[in-house]
Amino acid sequence: MAHDDRILEGVTVLDLSTFVTGGFCSAMLANQGAEVIKIEQPGYGDAIRHSGPPFIDGESPYYWTVNYGKRSLELDLKNPRAVEALYELAEDADIFIQNFRPGTAERLAVDYESIAERNEDVIYLAVSAFGQTGPWRERSGYDLLIQGMSGIMSVTGEPDRQPVKVGLPMTDLITAMWAAFGVTTALYRRELTGEGEYIDLGMLESALPWLTKQAGQVFAGTEPRRMGTKDPVLAPYQTFETKDGYLNICILNEKLWWELCEVLDRPDLAEHEHFETNADRVEHLEELETEIEATLAAKTTDEWIEIIAEEGGVPAGPVYDVEEALNNPQIDARDAVTEIDHPELGSVPVIEHPLKFEHAESGFELPPPLLGEHNRAVFRDRGYSEAELDELEAAGVFGTESDGSETSTTE
């Protein structure tokens, strides 16, 4: 690996995955300087390209958010010459990512053994819904299924109502972050040992470590339950209604509780026997909620944020909609949402990744690629002549048309 201002400069990633799990992982790697070559189905591409509406001039903004910083290469993996071309690319790759259902990679001859035969140093990541072993290994699975089976939905939503999923593809993104962590730690191990690695990552197992306090309740013999925005072990730690909307208040210790009572001008709450300790407040949560909301109803959310958070220094914040979350003074000051030049649309918004290193550069240098935008460039950069590129094209390596079929089993 080369050493440059970007930590993963010189690292090459071949990403055969579709949708979110592998895609967000490789976007994280691209953000840190890796060259990510997105291998796509000819004529159709990654199915996330078609996720919508809404679309902007035929492009899916959802697709953009998972594919900044990559190059797109169409390869017809049912064509033996295309598979050979993939092998040629794999010889110099550092990371190989796929999220096929177990058994599919073997049928396509892009399994670990086939790739490692050409490159024994490769870091090979196989993402699937349930992992490569176990009785459910051959099942397909997506975020909604995993949210349900991981216990997340059992603790999300209001009590005595239907379970609901988290409003974003949470388990896809959890899995993607484990994936990025796994391949970078494997790269570090390779630097120490010189050995490649095979990583088997299942979505269901990826979600379990995130249960934290709910798992702790189970370990202690207590059954977690749906509590809306309330917390099972802290109070007040929830959403409250104000005169014109909502705000969140987060009290994690007695000092903050006393400070909250002071800024609310409710010293009686601090002295109340039902609210003296956190355990008392958790036990009498409904009574506490009634008292606090009666006070908050007198002012607007903005007024209370000024009083509680700005003047009082107590953790509190508004409940933003998504547009407000993407456009506010703090986000603007941190350049968290920017723009990047796009080959057809002029520019597109970019949600930058949050790691800000003191001694290294990060950030996306390429826009989300058009389908097949880099078909010839990827091979040209590896020394292919124009005549050889013409031969690849004539052999159908880049495909002719697609039936839009899907072989991945994760989002």
- Residue among 94, 172, 244, 381 flagged as catalytic: 172
DSSP state of 227: -
CA atoms of 107 and 101, how far apart (whole Å): 11
- Residue 108 makes CB contacts below 8 A (sequence gap 6+) with 77, 78, 83, 100, 407
Question: What is the distance between the alpha carbons of residues 387 and 392, in angstroms, rounded to a whole number?
Answer: 9
Element (H, E) at 100: none
8 A C-beta contact, residue 131 and residue 204 = yes
**Other C-beta atoms within 10 Å of 195: how many?**
11
Phi, psi of 247, rounded to the nearest 5 degrees: -145, 160
| Count of Cβ atoms closer than 10 Å to residue 59 Cβ | 17
Mind giving me the DSSP string for 37-81?
EEEE-TTT--GGGG--S--BTTB-HHHHHHHTTEEEEE--TTSHH
For CA atoms 287, 292, 295, 299, the dihedral sign is negative
Burial environment of residue 34 by CB neighbours within 10 A (0 to 12, 13 to 18, 19 or more):
buried
Long-range pairs, 349-358, Cβ under 8 A, ≥24: 349/61, 349/64, 350/64, 350/68, 351/65, 351/326, 352/31, 353/27, 353/28, 353/31, 355/31, 355/32, 357/7
Rounded CA-CA distance 309/380 in Å is 56
Distances (CA, A) of 166 to 109, 152, 181, 233, 393: 37, 8, 23, 20, 44
Compute the distance between CA of residue 301 and CA of residue 318 in angstroms, rounded to an integer.
Answer: 7
Provide the token pair at 69: 């910083």
Q: Is 172 a catalytic residue?
A: yes
Count of helix runs (H) and strand runs (E) in the chain: 18, 11
Active-site residue list: 172
